């Protein structure tokens, strides 16, 4: 069986990632989500096991020790990690899986040559990013400034990604992601013959 695709998505805070992911899930109901573990406090409206597995620092350290994580990173004073459990079973069963990672997570995966489609979503401008963070109202002024600074550093790393989408209109952003996935699936390197007669032809090495 061919493996599913890992769709690796990064977006600085205030880029509209949550809305984008919600719409993406609606349009691709079969897409699996690699739910991360985090030590950050749960926000209003978030659900355990759906948005994150919210765990203590001690539990997180235990998981690091047990090698449970494909990757982990400290982001804005909290720890975030993607477990092997959250990704491998889906991908190995041929299911496309979404991984939401910060730029450090992407760096780690690139370093291990992890196969996936790497997409970065960016705000139209820094001003817009600040405005979205202020509007969200979940963070203090200090935290907003910190998130904006982190965002600026993340934007500079755009070359690590295969695709960069500016999120002007969420519908367009999601459509671009669907197009990317569709195109990746029909790349010649992913081609799997649909019938035995074509398979035989390929094995014979006819050109
Ligand atoms: P938030 O606290 O706003 O949900 O996420 C903060 C940052 O952590 C975002 O950039 C998000 O993509 C990133 N993040 C979420 N889960 C993981 C993870 O498992 N690993 C890494 N490296 N980053 C993550």
Structure pTM?
0.92
Three-state SS for 154-187 is HHCCHHHCCEEEECCCHHHHHHHHHHHHHHHHCC
The ligand 1 atom at the shortest distance from the C-alpha of residue 154 is 10
Backbone φ and ψ of 52, nearest 5°: -155, 165
> What pLDDT, on the 0 to 100 scale, is given for residue 206?
54
**Residue 127: CATH number of its domain:** 3.40.50.300
Domain that holds residue 139: 6-204
Centre of ligand 1 from the C-alpha of residue 93, in Å: 25
In a domain, residue 179? The reply is yes
Atom 8 of ligand 1: nearest residue by CA position = 102
- Could you tell me which of 86, 14, 25 has the C-alpha nearest to residue 52? 86
Residue 106 CA: nearest ligand 1 atom is: 22
Please report the atom of ligand 1 found closest to the CA of residue 36.
19
CB 7 within 8 A of CB 103: no
β-sheet with 78-83: strand ranges across:
53-54, 37-38, 78-83, 69-75
* pLDDT at residue 207 in the model: 61
What is the pLDDT at residue 36?
97
Contact 164, 106 (CB under 8 A): no
Taking the centre of ligand 1 as the mean of its atom positions, its distance from the CA of residue 121, in whole angstroms, is: 14
State in Å: Cα 101 to ligand 1 middle.
5
- Give yes or no for a contact between 71 and 82, defined as CB atoms under 8 angstroms apart: yes
Q: Is residue 96 part of a domain?
A: yes
Q: Which pLDDT belongs to residue 102?
A: 93
* Ligand 1: lining residues by beta carbon, under 6 Å: 10, 13, 36, 40, 71, 73, 75, 80-82, 100-102, 104-105
Would 1 be classed as within a structural domain? no
pLDDT of residue 76: 80
Q: Is residue 133 part of a domain?
A: yes
Atom of ligand 1 nearest to the CA of 78: 2
pLDDT of res. 57: 97
The residue nearest atom 2 of ligand 1, judged by CA position, is 40
pLDDT in tens, the chain (207 residues): 789 999 999 999 899 998 999 999 999 999 999 999 999 999 888 999 999 999 999 999 999 999 999 999 998 889 999 999 999 999 999 999 999 999 999 999 999 999 999 999 999 999 999 999 888 777 788 888 888 999 999 999 999 999 999 999 999 999 999 999 999 999 998 898 999 999 999 887 656
- The number of folded domains in the chain is 1
Give the Å distance between the CA of 14 and the centre of ligand 1. Answer: 13
How high is the pLDDT of residue 203?
A: 84
Residue 14 lies in a domain: yes
Single out the residue of 51, 45, 83 nearest to residue 64, CA to CA: 83
């Amino acid at each position: 069986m061919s493996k599913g695709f890992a769709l690796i998505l990064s977006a600085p805070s205030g880029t509209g990632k949550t809305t984008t992911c919600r719409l993406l899930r609606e349009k691709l109901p079969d897409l699996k989500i690699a739910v991360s573990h985090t030590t950050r406090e749960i926000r209003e409206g978030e659900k355990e096991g759906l948005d994150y597995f919210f765990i203590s620092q001690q539990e997180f350290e235990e998981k690091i020790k047990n090698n449970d994580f494909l990757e982990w990173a400290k982001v804005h004073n909290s720890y975030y990690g993607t477990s092997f459990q959250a990704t491998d079973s889906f991908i190995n069963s041929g299911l496309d899986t979404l991984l939401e990672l910060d730029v450090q997570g992407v760096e780690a995966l690139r370093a291990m040559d992890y196969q996936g489609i790497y997409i970065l979503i960016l705000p139209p401008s820094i001003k817009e990013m600040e405005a979205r963070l202020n509007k969200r109202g979940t963070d203090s002024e200090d935290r907003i400034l910190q998130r904006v600074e982190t965002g600026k550093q993340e934007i500079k790393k755009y070359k690590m990604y295969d695709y960069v989408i500016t999120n002007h209109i969420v519908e367009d952003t999601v459509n671009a992601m669907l197009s990317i996935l569709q195109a990746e699936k029909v790349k010649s390197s992913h081609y799997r013959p649909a019938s035995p007669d074509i398979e035989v032809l390929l094995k014979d090495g006819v050109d």
